[in-house]
């Protein structure tokens, strides 16, 4: 990674979150709260969701951030994240949201993970979450960061906190799933928090 001095700093006070996912908007706003930014979700601006045609988390985050920055004329931050299950060859991976279908039914998506593991007679349940962040400016400049948290998938899902696949993911070293953990603690150890620490050091920290 480049040293922080070689990254572009975010100097303005307005930022667009290039996501229509209410759970991500809530979590990212909480992570950004200490930086006194005026944060507006893409959905609130009526911006369309671009097709995620990238083959990596970074590529999809960059695609979404560029589209929002161009459309809004403001710096835009995009997240692309997903669950990577080792025994499923990395699935659902970049297709994590698509496994939930148009209705964003993550109960069905979690059931599919369990079904495919069971169909393969797979005992190993190691997995990790990946979060890629892309910060784009209207002039086309983009900074990207990627974070991880390792753990295991469990069945049945546990807890009602978080969103997406959180209820079936237990981070390494913890007894509770992301769906059970206190949100403040989850924010401190999550894949998104890992990526945010890098983003803050590179682009948000004040000199």
Question: Mind telling me the catalytic residues?
Answer: 80
Q: Across the chain, where does the E strand assignment appear?
A: 14-17, 38-41, 76-85, 126-136, 142-153, 169-171
Q: What is the 3-state secondary structure (H, E, C) of 123-180?
A: CCCEEEEEEEEEEECCCCCEEEEEEEEEEEECCCCCCCCCCCCHHHEEECCCCCCCCC
The first and second tokens of residue 66, run together, are: 């560029």
The residue to which tokens 């959905």 are assigned: 43
The first and second tokens of residue 104, run together, are: 């964003």
The residue to which tokens 């996501």 are assigned: 19
The C-alpha R_g of the chain, in whole angstroms, comes to: 17
Interhelix angle 22-32/191-199, rounded to 10 degrees, is: 40
Distance CA 133, CA 117 (A): 29
The first and second tokens of residue 204, run together, are: 């948000």
Distance CA 26, CA 41 (A): 10
């Amino acid at each position: 990674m480049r040293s922080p001095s070689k990254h572009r700093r975010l100097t303005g006070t307005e930022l667009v979150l290039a996501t229509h996912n209410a759970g991500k908007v809530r979590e990212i706003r909480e992570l950004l709260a200490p930086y006194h930014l005026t944060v507006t979700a893409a959905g609130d601006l009526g911006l369309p969701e671009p097709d995620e045609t990238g083959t990596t988390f970074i590529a999809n985050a960059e695609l979404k951030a560029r589209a929002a920055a161009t459309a809004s004329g403001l710096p835009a931050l995009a997240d692309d994240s997903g669950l990577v299950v080792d025994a499923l060859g990395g699935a659902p991976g970049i297709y994590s949201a698509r496994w939930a279908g148009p209705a964003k039914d993550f109960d069905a998506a979690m059931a599919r993970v369990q079904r495919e593991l069971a169909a393969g007679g797979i005992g190993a349940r190691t997995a990790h979450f990946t979060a890629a962040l892309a910060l784009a400016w209207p002039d086309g400049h983009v900074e990207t960061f990627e974070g991880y948290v390792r753990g295991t998938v469990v069945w049945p899902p546990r807890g009602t906190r978080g969103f997406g696949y959180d209820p079936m993911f237990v981070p390494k070293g913890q007894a509770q799933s992301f769906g059970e953990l206190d949100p403040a603690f989850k924010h401190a150890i999550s894949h998104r928090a890992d990526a945010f620490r890098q983003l803050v050091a590179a682009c948000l920290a004040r000199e």
